[in-house]
Amino acid sequence: MRPHMPLTHIFAVAAIAALVASCQSKTPAPSQDRSALSTMERVAVAANTCWFKSGDAAFTAYRLAPELNSFSGRPRILVVPRNSPEGRPLLVVQAEGTPSKLDAFGPMMDGPARPRIAQDVTRWAGGNKSCS
């Protein structure tokens, strides 16, 4: 004849098993919206914070001109001369599609800021809000 396990031990074993199972189950991370508009919203907010509001010396001569409401399906941000906001953009960052495909072009992408701009935009598009 087998000895019986006391009822309190059975409950303790069941509680431990439930605790272990709950620790092992992973709640999936919320998926990030990767549409062009959502991507460019993230980039615009971070660019404004990191490049312009922070007083970053590399961007003091410029201003941000977001154009997120795009009928072409390519929301974008423009970097324009601070004293001539109607002037030709020096940097255009735009996204298209879902998942979004980013593109950056303009005179600033031909200069020394190119690697930094590319790294920042890629990081922000991925959801990381940190400044470089």
Cα(first)–Cα(last) distance of the chain, in Å?
A: 71
Domain contains 120: yes
Q: What are phi and psi of 49, to 5 degrees?
A: -70, -50
Tokens of 77: 């941000």
Q: Which residue in 92, 81, 112, 106 sits closest to 40, CA to CA?
A: 92
Q: How many domains does the chain have?
A: 1
pLDDT of residue 30: 53
Q: What is the mean pLDDT of residues 93-105?
A: 95
Whole-model pTM: value is 0.74
Segment 102-130 mean pLDDT: 96
Structural domain for 42, as ranges: 36-124
Tens digit of each residue's pLDDT (9 = 90 or more) over 5-28 = 444 444 344 434 444 444 444 544
- Sign of the CA dihedral running 121, 126, 129, 132: negative
Give the residue with greater pLDDT, 28 vs 95: 95
Residue 72 lies in a domain: yes
Tell me, yes or no, whether 53 lies in a domain.
yes
Q: What gap in Å lies between CA 33 and CA 41, rounded to an integer?
A: 11
